[in-house]
Amino acid sequence: MEAQSFFSLDHVTHIYQGTDNEGHEALRDVSLEISAGAFVAVLGANGSGKSTLARHLNALLLPSS
């Protein structure tokens, strides 16, 4: 039996606009699928987009594209 998808993202990009109109790309073309009951860890350096990814999974942010 195939596990059912609990969370999924498909080609998500998120750009934060700065005060100088320069965009900071926090996520670029991210796709992932997390099955129900799966244990997932997201690791990365400061500023690598971990919190932005979590906010997209919780629908607190909408993708730029």
User: Which residues have CB under 8 Å from 15's CB, separation 6+?
Assistant: 23, 24, 25, 26, 64
pLDDT of residue 12: 93
6-54 pLDDT, tens digit per residue, is 889 999 999 998 888 888 899 999 999 999 989 999 999 998 999 999 9
pLDDT value of position 62: 82
What is the per-residue pLDDT for 54? 92
Q: Specify the higher pLDDT residue, 4 or 11.
A: 11
Query: CB atoms < 10 A from the CB of 56, how many?
Result: 20
50-55: long-range contacts, CB 8 A cutoff, minimum separation 24: 52/14, 52/26, 52/27, 53/9, 53/27
- More confidently predicted of 2 and 50: 50
Q: Give pTM, 2 decimals.
A: 0.79
